[in-house]
Protein backbone atom coordinates (compact mmCIF):
# COMPACT_ATOMS: atom_id res chain seq x y z
CA UNK A 1 0.00 0.00 0.00
CA UNK A 2 1.31 3.39 -0.95
CA UNK A 3 0.39 6.76 0.51
CA UNK A 4 1.80 9.56 -1.62
CA UNK A 5 1.97 13.25 -0.70
CA UNK A 6 -0.03 12.77 2.48
CA UNK A 7 -1.23 16.27 3.32
CA UNK A 8 -1.19 16.95 7.03
CA UNK A 9 -1.45 20.06 9.14
CA UNK A 10 0.18 20.28 12.53
CA UNK A 11 -3.20 20.10 14.20
CA UNK A 12 -4.43 16.90 12.59
CA UNK A 13 -1.30 14.97 11.71
CA UNK A 14 -2.61 11.45 11.74
CA UNK A 15 -4.96 12.25 14.60
CA UNK A 16 -7.84 10.75 12.74
CA UNK A 17 -11.52 11.72 13.06
CA UNK A 18 -13.26 9.84 15.84
CA UNK A 19 -16.69 9.55 14.24
CA UNK A 20 -17.32 6.43 12.13
CA UNK A 21 -18.01 7.06 8.47
CA UNK A 22 -18.37 3.54 7.13
CA UNK A 23 -21.42 1.34 7.16
CA UNK A 24 -22.14 -0.95 10.14
CA UNK A 25 -21.61 -3.93 7.83
CA UNK A 26 -17.99 -2.97 7.15
CA UNK A 27 -17.32 -2.33 10.83
CA UNK A 28 -18.84 -5.71 11.69
CA UNK A 29 -16.66 -7.30 9.00
CA UNK A 30 -13.59 -6.01 10.82
CA UNK A 31 -14.84 -7.16 14.20
CA UNK A 32 -15.53 -10.65 12.86
CA UNK A 33 -11.85 -11.21 12.15
CA UNK A 34 -11.75 -10.68 8.39
CA UNK A 35 -8.67 -8.43 8.46
CA UNK A 36 -6.90 -10.28 5.63
CA UNK A 37 -9.81 -9.79 3.25
CA UNK A 38 -10.13 -6.13 4.23
CA UNK A 39 -6.44 -5.52 3.54
CA UNK A 40 -6.80 -6.85 -0.01
CA UNK A 41 -9.71 -4.51 -0.59
CA UNK A 42 -8.17 -1.35 0.84
CA UNK A 43 -5.16 -1.77 -1.43
CA UNK A 44 -7.34 -0.23 -4.15
CA UNK A 45 -8.29 2.86 -2.12
CA UNK A 46 -6.85 6.31 -2.75
CA UNK A 47 -5.19 8.07 0.23
CA UNK A 48 -8.25 10.16 1.10
CA UNK A 49 -10.53 7.11 1.18
CA UNK A 50 -7.97 5.22 3.22
CA UNK A 51 -7.86 7.99 5.82
CA UNK A 52 -11.66 8.06 5.99
CA UNK A 53 -11.82 4.28 6.35
CA UNK A 54 -9.18 4.37 9.08
CA UNK A 55 -11.42 6.63 11.14
CA UNK A 56 -14.00 3.88 11.66
CA UNK A 57 -12.27 2.10 14.54
CA UNK A 58 -8.94 2.25 16.37
CA UNK A 59 -8.42 -1.33 15.35
CA UNK A 60 -8.90 -0.41 11.70
CA UNK A 61 -6.47 2.46 12.06
CA UNK A 62 -3.81 0.26 13.61
CA UNK A 63 -4.11 -2.47 11.01
CA UNK A 64 -4.23 -0.15 8.02
CA UNK A 65 -1.35 2.05 9.14
CA UNK A 66 0.75 -1.09 9.42
CA UNK A 67 0.17 -1.65 5.69
CA UNK A 68 1.62 1.66 4.54
CA UNK A 69 4.94 1.16 2.77
CA UNK A 70 5.64 4.63 1.35
CA UNK A 71 5.28 8.11 2.82
CA UNK A 72 5.89 11.35 0.93
CA UNK A 73 5.87 14.28 3.35
CA UNK A 74 6.92 17.92 3.64
CA UNK A 75 8.89 19.46 6.49
CA UNK A 76 6.14 21.96 7.27
CA UNK A 77 3.54 19.18 7.72
CA UNK A 78 5.48 17.00 10.14
CA UNK A 79 3.56 16.74 13.45
CA UNK A 80 6.17 18.42 15.63
CA UNK A 81 3.76 18.60 18.58
CA UNK A 82 3.72 14.82 19.11
CA UNK A 83 6.39 12.36 20.17
CA UNK A 84 8.35 11.35 17.03
CA UNK A 85 9.04 7.80 18.21
CA UNK A 86 5.36 7.09 18.89
CA UNK A 87 4.37 8.66 15.58
CA UNK A 88 6.83 6.67 13.46
CA UNK A 89 6.08 3.45 15.34
CA UNK A 90 2.66 3.42 13.67
CA UNK A 91 4.29 2.68 10.31
CA UNK A 92 5.84 -0.71 10.97
CA UNK A 93 5.93 -1.69 7.28
CA UNK A 94 7.36 1.51 5.85
CA UNK A 95 9.97 0.93 3.15
CA UNK A 96 10.35 4.41 1.67
CA UNK A 97 10.36 7.74 3.49
CA UNK A 98 10.59 10.86 1.31
CA UNK A 99 10.72 14.24 3.05
CA UNK A 100 11.00 17.49 1.12
CA UNK A 101 10.81 21.15 1.91
CA UNK A 102 12.85 24.17 2.78
CA UNK A 103 14.77 24.56 6.00
CA UNK A 104 14.01 28.32 6.17
CA UNK A 105 16.85 28.88 8.61
CA UNK A 106 15.79 26.16 11.04
CA UNK A 107 16.34 22.42 11.25
CA UNK A 108 13.63 21.73 13.83
CA UNK A 109 11.62 19.47 11.50
CA UNK A 110 14.57 17.24 10.63
CA UNK A 111 15.78 17.16 14.24
CA UNK A 112 12.31 15.90 15.17
CA UNK A 113 12.31 13.29 12.40
CA UNK A 114 15.79 12.02 13.25
CA UNK A 115 14.86 11.71 16.91
CA UNK A 116 12.11 9.36 15.78
CA UNK A 117 14.29 7.37 13.39
CA UNK A 118 16.94 6.98 16.09
CA UNK A 119 14.39 5.83 18.65
CA UNK A 120 12.35 3.28 16.71
CA UNK A 121 13.37 0.22 14.70
CA UNK A 122 11.87 0.33 11.20
CA UNK A 123 13.20 -2.97 9.95
CA UNK A 124 11.77 -2.61 6.44
CA UNK A 125 12.97 0.94 5.76
CA UNK A 126 15.20 0.81 2.69
CA UNK A 127 14.96 4.27 1.07
CA UNK A 128 15.37 7.60 2.86
CA UNK A 129 15.15 10.84 0.87
CA UNK A 130 15.70 14.28 2.36
CA UNK A 131 15.38 16.80 -0.48
CA UNK A 132 16.32 20.37 0.51
CA UNK A 133 14.92 19.51 3.91
CA UNK A 134 17.69 20.90 6.12
CA UNK A 135 20.81 23.04 5.99
CA UNK A 136 23.86 21.69 7.74
CA UNK A 137 26.40 23.95 9.39
CA UNK A 138 29.97 23.58 10.60
CA UNK A 139 30.68 19.96 11.40
CA UNK A 140 27.65 18.64 9.51
CA UNK A 141 26.00 17.29 12.69
CA UNK A 142 22.72 16.39 10.98
CA UNK A 143 24.42 14.53 8.14
CA UNK A 144 26.45 12.66 10.74
CA UNK A 145 23.25 11.49 12.45
CA UNK A 146 21.76 10.47 9.11
CA UNK A 147 24.92 8.55 8.23
CA UNK A 148 24.44 6.40 11.32
CA UNK A 149 21.15 5.15 9.83
CA UNK A 150 22.73 3.75 6.66
CA UNK A 151 23.30 0.12 7.77
CA UNK A 152 19.61 -0.68 7.18
CA UNK A 153 19.23 1.42 4.02
CA UNK A 154 19.67 0.57 0.36
CA UNK A 155 19.22 4.11 -0.98
CA UNK A 156 20.04 7.37 0.79
CA UNK A 157 19.29 10.60 -1.09
CA UNK A 158 20.42 13.89 0.44
CA UNK A 159 19.88 16.44 -2.32
CA UNK A 160 20.50 20.15 -1.79
CA UNK A 161 21.09 20.12 1.97
CA UNK A 162 24.35 22.06 2.12
CA UNK A 163 26.47 19.01 2.92
CA UNK A 164 30.18 19.86 3.11
CA UNK A 165 33.44 17.93 3.40
CA UNK A 166 32.75 16.87 6.98
CA UNK A 167 29.35 15.43 6.12
CA UNK A 168 30.82 13.57 3.16
CA UNK A 169 33.46 12.05 5.44
CA UNK A 170 30.76 11.00 7.92
CA UNK A 171 29.00 9.16 5.10
CA UNK A 172 32.20 7.60 3.74
CA UNK A 173 33.24 6.26 7.15
CA UNK A 174 29.85 4.71 7.85
CA UNK A 175 29.60 3.14 4.40
CA UNK A 176 32.94 1.40 5.00
CA UNK A 177 31.50 -0.17 8.14
CA UNK A 178 28.68 -1.70 6.10
CA UNK A 179 31.16 -4.15 4.60
CA UNK A 180 30.57 -7.57 6.10
CA UNK A 181 27.22 -6.55 7.54
CA UNK A 182 24.69 -9.24 6.60
CA UNK A 183 21.88 -6.66 6.52
CA UNK A 184 23.76 -4.73 3.81
CA UNK A 185 23.44 -7.32 1.06
CA UNK A 186 23.96 -4.79 -1.75
CA UNK A 187 26.00 -1.57 -2.10
CA UNK A 188 24.34 1.57 -0.80
CA UNK A 189 22.98 3.94 -3.45
CA UNK A 190 24.09 7.45 -2.43
CA UNK A 191 22.49 10.45 -4.13
CA UNK A 192 24.23 13.67 -3.09
CA UNK A 193 23.41 16.09 -5.89
CA UNK A 194 23.45 19.86 -5.34
CA UNK A 195 25.63 19.97 -2.24
CA UNK A 196 28.90 21.81 -1.71
CA UNK A 197 31.52 19.16 -1.01
CA UNK A 198 35.25 19.81 -0.95
CA UNK A 199 38.01 17.80 -2.57
CA UNK A 200 38.68 15.60 0.45
CA UNK A 201 35.05 14.56 0.82
CA UNK A 202 34.64 14.05 -2.90
CA UNK A 203 37.73 11.86 -3.04
CA UNK A 204 36.57 9.75 -0.07
CA UNK A 205 33.18 9.10 -1.65
CA UNK A 206 34.56 8.45 -5.12
CA UNK A 207 37.01 5.93 -3.64
CA UNK A 208 34.09 4.02 -2.15
CA UNK A 209 32.40 4.03 -5.53
CA UNK A 210 35.52 2.79 -7.32
CA UNK A 211 35.85 -0.03 -4.77
CA UNK A 212 32.23 -1.06 -5.33
CA UNK A 213 31.16 -0.18 -1.79
CA UNK A 214 28.49 2.27 -2.94
CA UNK A 215 26.76 3.52 -6.07
CA UNK A 216 27.30 7.26 -6.16
CA UNK A 217 25.43 10.13 -7.79
CA UNK A 218 27.12 13.40 -6.93
CA UNK A 219 26.47 16.24 -9.36
CA UNK A 220 28.05 18.94 -7.21
CA UNK A 221 30.24 21.97 -7.45
CA UNK A 222 33.52 20.79 -5.97
CA UNK A 223 35.27 23.41 -3.83
CA UNK A 224 39.04 23.22 -4.18
CA UNK A 225 40.78 23.15 -0.81
CA UNK A 226 43.44 25.59 -2.01
CA UNK A 227 41.02 27.92 -3.80
CA UNK A 228 41.74 30.68 -1.31
Domain boundaries, the chain: 26-67, 69-227
- State what percent of residues in the chain have pLDDT above 70: 66
* pLDDT for 126 beyond 90: yes
Chain segment 129-150, per-residue pLDDT in tens? 999 999 887 778 999 999 988 8
Chain segment 90-120, per-residue pLDDT in tens? 888 899 999 998 756 689 999 999 999 999 9
Closest by CA position to 190, among listed 146, 136, 125, 124: 146
- Of 145-149, 162-166, 176-180, the range with the lowest mean pLDDT is 176-180
Strands in 96-100's sheet, in edge-to-edge order, are 2-3, 70-74, 96-100, 127-131, 155-159, 188-191, 214-217
**pLDDT reported for residue 132:** 92
Q: Structure pTM?
A: 0.77
CATH number attached to the domain at 69-227: 3.80.10.10
Amino acid sequence: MHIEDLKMTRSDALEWPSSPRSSPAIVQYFEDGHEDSILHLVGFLDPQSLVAFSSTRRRARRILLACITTLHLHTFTLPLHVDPVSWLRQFTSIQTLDVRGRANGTNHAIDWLLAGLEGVVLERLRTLTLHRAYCDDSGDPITGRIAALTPVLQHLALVGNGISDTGAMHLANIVKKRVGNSRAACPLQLTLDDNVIGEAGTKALQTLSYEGLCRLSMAVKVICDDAW
